[in-house]
Amino acid sequence: MLSTTLPFPQVTQQHLALNSYPAILSDLPYDPGFAIRGLHYDVRCGTLLKLDAYALIQDGTVFRGRTSLNVDQVRHLYGGNYVPFHYLPTPDDKDSAKMVQSLDLFSLPEVGLLANIIQYFDDSNIDFDPESLFRDVRTVVQSVHLSGVMYDAVSNNLPKYIHYMHGLKEFFERLIAHKKIVFLISNSPFRSM
């Protein structure tokens, strides 16, 4: 099983430092337990929040950086406790959405990195454009994936990042014994399989 402590945040922070962001970002600690799948990041104002199926903001789930916002702050930002549907991504028009959702395990370090940087900027009274920050982080995250830097870091330290999953071998043996067809699908390069 792949660890949730991938070198991804550290590698990404180093890349951001090379792209005119403060070098201290490379030293910010990464908390793999901070974000969960399903959170939305508001590209417009730099908040992280949990929405239900009707775009209602869940109480106590709105953060700017790593700081929890109170009900009054949330109402000030959103005019209530819901997010208009035109803010949300659609299958046809993901790029113009004002919010993006973290859907998979690889999006969690990106969300954590955004939260860390926003917290650092807010604590340091550094003005920034949340949308530009999001685009920069997204570009760096994609380059870390596409360049193979992350895969190399994992390959160079397998015991740290790949953990034995009890019962997995037996599970596959049962599938094979019952003549089930098994295949692997991944968006990772073949060399990292």
Cα angle: 145, vertex 147, 149; to 5 degrees: 75
What are the structure tokens assigned to 34, written together?
A: 């901070």
pLDDT band with cut points at 50, 70 and 90 for residue 43 = very high
pLDDT band with cut points at 50, 70 and 90 for residue 5 = low
Report the DSSP pairing between strands 63-64 and 47-49. Answer: antiparallel
Q: 136 Cβ partners below 8 Å, 6+ apart?
A: 16, 19, 21
Give me the residue spans of the domains in the chain.
8-163
Region 146-163: mean pLDDT is 80
Torsion of Cα atoms, 25 then 29 then 32 then 35, to 10°:
-60
Q: Which residues pair with 40 in a beta bridge?
A: 49, 101
State the pTM of this model: 0.79
**Closest to 133 (Cα-Cα) out of 65, 35, 36, 55:** 65
What are the structure tokens assigned to 162, written together?
A: 């790949």
